[in-house]
Amino acid sequence: MSDDFYSSYSTYKNYQPATLRHKDINRFDAEIWEPAAFTSGMSCLELGAGTGQFLKYLSYKGAQNFYGIDHDSDLRAVIPPEISDRFECADV
Q: In what order do the strands lie in the sheet with 43-47?
A: 43-47, 65-70, 87-89
pLDDT tens digit string along 42-86?
A: 999 999 999 999 999 999 999 999 999 999 988 999 999 999 999
Asked if residue 18 lies in contact with residue 53, where contact means CB atoms within 8 angstroms, the answer is yes
pLDDT tens digit string along 4-18?
A: 666 666 677 788 899
Which pLDDT belongs to residue 37?
Answer: 97
What is the number of domains present in the chain? 1
Domain that holds residue 33: 3-12+20-89
The Cα–Cα gap between 92 and 82 comes to: 24
Type of residue at 68: G
Which pLDDT belongs to residue 6?
Answer: 62
The Cα–Cα gap between 7 and 67 comes to: 24
Which pLDDT belongs to residue 79?
Answer: 95
Asked if residue 72 lies in contact with residue 48, where contact means CB atoms within 8 angstroms, the answer is no
